[in-house]
Structure formats: C-alpha cells, structure tokens
Amino acid sequence: MIGAASQADSIENTTKKLNKSYSGKTIRNHLDKFASFKQLESQLNRALISKLPRRIKKRKHKMAIDLNLIPYYGKPTKQEEDYIYRSQAKNGTCSFYAYATIYIIAKNKRLSIAVIGLKKSYTNVAIITYLLDKIQSLNLKIKTLYLDRGFYSSAVIRWLMALDIPFIMPAIRNGTTGGINQYLKGKKSYKTTHTLNKDRDDRVTFPLWIVCKYLKGKRVKFGVEYLPYVVYKVNISLNYIYQDYRKRFGIETSYRLKNICRIRTTTKNPIIRLLYVGISFLIVNIWIYILWSKISKPRRGSRLVYHSLLTLKQMLGFLSNVINRIYEVREIIYIPAT
C-alpha cells in the first residue's frame, strides 16, 4: 500500500511492477477483512496524532475544517448508498465519496489531526461536532476556526456561537437584492450585524464584516469587489481579514497534497476507500513531522524549518525507491506457453 501511495498508483499496478510482491488479489482479500468503518476511522485518527510535534500540544492554534470530495459516478450499490454524499455539482456530478478533516495551520503547513468519512445523513453541524469530539483528548484550544462557504447556515453559526468558538467564514449572497446584498455598498470596509432568517423558529444574528477590495484591472475587471465575512470573536483587523482568510485556505495549495499520495482504486467498498484516504493524510503528517523534527534547527523565537530541502514528492520518491529495493522491480515478462 505504501508503494502504491508513493506513486499515486493502484494496488494492482504496483504488485505487477514488483517481483517479490503478493498478487493484487491476495492483498485485496486481506483488505476485505476490515469490517468496521467506525473502528478503522478510530484507528486512523489515533495514527494521525501519534507523531504530533511537542510544540503543537496543549496550545492555542488556528484550525480549519475542510471537505475532501472524490467524485462518484453511476448508481450506488446497497453497500455504498449510505456513504454517498450529495453536494454542489463538481466534475459533472453531485455525488461524492466525502471526507471531512480538521487540521492545524502552523509553519505554513496543514497538520491533519482528525478525519471522518461522511454519510449522506450528516449535517454540517454534525460534521463539526464529530471533528471537535475527535480532538477533545488533545487539550487543544482553538484560536480561530476557518470554514468555507459551504458551512454558511443559521444552524452552523448558531452552534459555533453557542460553543463560543472564534471563527471566520464567508457569507453567501443569495439573489440580487435583500439579504447580504443590502450591505454591499460604499467605498470603505465596515462592520455591521445581520440576521439570517430561514423561518420564524430558525434565525440567528451575527457580526458581519464587509471588505471592499479594489480590482484595479485584475482579471480585466475594475471597480469595487465586496467580500462579506461572518466574524465571531476573532482578534483581527478589518483591513487584514481578506489576506488572512485567503492565506489560510491557499497555503502552497497544501490542501491538495493528499491527492499526490492517494492510492487509486475503483473499489465500491467504503471501508477500503477510507483506508486509502487515511493513508494519504498519514503520509503528509509524517512528512511534516520529519520537516519540523529533523530538517530544522532551534533559534530564538521559533525553529528554522528548511522546507525546500525535502518536498513531499521527494519523500515519496525515497519511499518508492525503498519499496522497489525490498521487493525488486520486475524486469522480465514471461509469455505463457500455448
């Protein structure tokens, strides 16, 4: 599996390339012994936090929750049905294998500390609750929680405010008038409050920050672009919130790093799919741990980490070379006798 992950390849192709490997069928037979989705999820989460750098524990951190959606095509089988998550259309489908992660943002890296496989019945409030529960044992405090616009709803905002968690998320502009659109005016950024009404019994009032950004010909556009954010108890300047939020969700495109080392598969088994995704997150965490603990040196203030000396692709190359050395790359093909 590590050999397949290091090359973002399938188990079948990897076994065919290695001379001393078991066959793909034998490995799949062993993988099919995983019977409990929840048990595997728990084991993966223990593995993710097993090598957290000491400086991470018992401190306040900026954290983000992200949804990782893998497009699904076709009609779900009975085995898959509960695990096919519906979301906005992407790559020609509204159905996905979905995984939610919560990660710490530090040293320009994203350190995943929990992952859950999503079921179609999960609400956004349930996703946040499950993830926060997974990290409870770490005694971590949230300095700021970043969420994307997919979480914007009265239920989520009300729940996070009830938990008294500082958070930032973009507000969604629906329609052409009313709602958030009524605040998109003027030439200066400002703060206000807004009440989101889904119905009489489902309403919440929250702080709304409107950021005015001058396009100056960017993307061949001119004038003012308005960016509304829900901001709750976050110690940040109004003039800096756009850069802060953009930086947190755009760090060296690292939220896509897992795809570099995700095992490719066509299996319909949601448990095996969770295993492959979990391995990709674990490899990224190990890479970050090696950077912080081995390819760095102490200095006044904070450690100096030499990020450029070991990229994730380099580490995957090292892993691939070791696998090839142990199991020997196949160099001969025998044509079967007729």
* pLDDT tens per residue across span 32-43: 999 899 999 999
Give residue 90's pLDDT band: very low, low, confident or very high (50, 70, 90).
confident
User: Which of 53-57, 262-266, 311-315 is least confident?
Assistant: 53-57
| Residue 105, pLDDT score | 85
Does 324 score more than 70 pLDDT?
yes
Give residue 219's pLDDT band: very low, low, confident or very high (50, 70, 90).
low
Query: What integer best gives the mean pLDDT of the chain?
Result: 88
Rounded to an integer, what distance in angstroms lies between the CA atom of residue 231 and that of residue 168?
A: 5
Give residue 46's pLDDT band: very low, low, confident or very high (50, 70, 90).
very high
> 147: number of CA atoms within 13 Å, CB side?
27
Q: Where are the domains of the chain?
A: 149-248
Rounded to an integer, what distance in angstroms lies between the CA atom of residue 114 and that of residue 42?
A: 9
Does 200 score more than 80 pLDDT?
no
Asked whether 209 and 228 are in contact (CB, 8 A), the reply is: yes
The closest alpha carbon to 4, from 272, 308, 244, 210, belongs to 272
Asked whether 204 and 171 are in contact (CB, 8 A), the reply is: no
| Residue 252, pLDDT score | 43
Q: What is the pLDDT of residues 121-157, one digit of tens each?
A: 899 999 999 999 988 878 888 999 999 888 999 999 9
| Residue 253, pLDDT score | 52
Does 177 score more than 70 pLDDT?
no
| Residue 78, pLDDT score | 82
Query: At a CB cut-off of 8 Å and minimum separation 6, what does 307 contact?
Result: 108, 291
Beta strands in the chain (DSSP E): 60-71, 84-90, 93-106, 109-117, 141-146, 167-170, 190-199, 202-214, 224-232, 296-297, 304-305
| Residue 206, pLDDT score | 94
| Residue 144, pLDDT score | 93
Q: b/e for 1-34, b at 16 or more Cβ within 10 A?
A: ebbbbbbebbbbebbebbeebeebeebbeebeee
CA distances from 152 to 173, 195, 337 (A): 10, 13, 64
Q: What is the mean pLDDT of residues 223-237?
A: 91
Does 207 score more than 90 pLDDT?
yes
| Residue 116, pLDDT score | 94
Rounded to an integer, what distance in angstroms lies between the CA atom of residue 331 and that of residue 240?
A: 57
| Residue 338, pLDDT score | 72
Asked whether 271 and 35 are in contact (CB, 8 A), the reply is: yes
Does 255 score more than 60 pLDDT?
no
| Residue 5, pLDDT score | 95
Give residue 80's pLDDT band: very low, low, confident or very high (50, 70, 90).
confident
